[in-house]
Amino acid sequence: AIFVVAITMSSSSKQLRLSRRSSELAQAVPQVMARRVGRMMQAGPVPSMEDQQEFIRMGMEKLEAFGEAWWAMVLQGSQVQQQFALWWMQTWWKVALGGWMHPPTLSSLSNGASRNLMNGWLDVTLCGVAPMHRRAVANARRLNGAGR
């Protein structure tokens, strides 16, 4: 599933969501790596069929997660570029069709552009982190539950 983040979410809530996901990812990845490397060490030079399946699953999950992340980022990035172009054209038309009497200052235009771009690229980053976060957290739960 590809996630496209809603553009209406505030920048601070997007930053909070990104930091929360990053911290969960930073906790889950070492746990999963420790379990899997330990399993590789225990398997030795001739791993069992169960170990081989887990190792194949590990590689396939990485390929799938990165593929999903890149595709989600491409789609979201295209949407961000279109939204920014629309904002820019709307701003230009406002100035061209009557805003010349009270033109916006350069700093207000710059702030608006910065705000739009920051929100958009936060969306792109959230879309890119989501597939890896989802898999790493699920693997940590699965592998930690299997060890109990």
pLDDT digits (tens, 9 = 90+) for 47-84: 999 999 988 988 999 999 999 999 999 999 999 999 88
pTM higher than the cut 0.85 = no
- In this structure, the number of other CB atoms found within 10 A of the CB of residue 15 comes to 14
Beta-carbon contacts of residue 14 (< 8 Å; ≥ 6 apart): 5, 119, 122, 123, 126
Predicted local confidence at residue 48, as pLDDT: 92
pLDDT digits (tens, 9 = 90+) for 122-133: 999 999 999 999
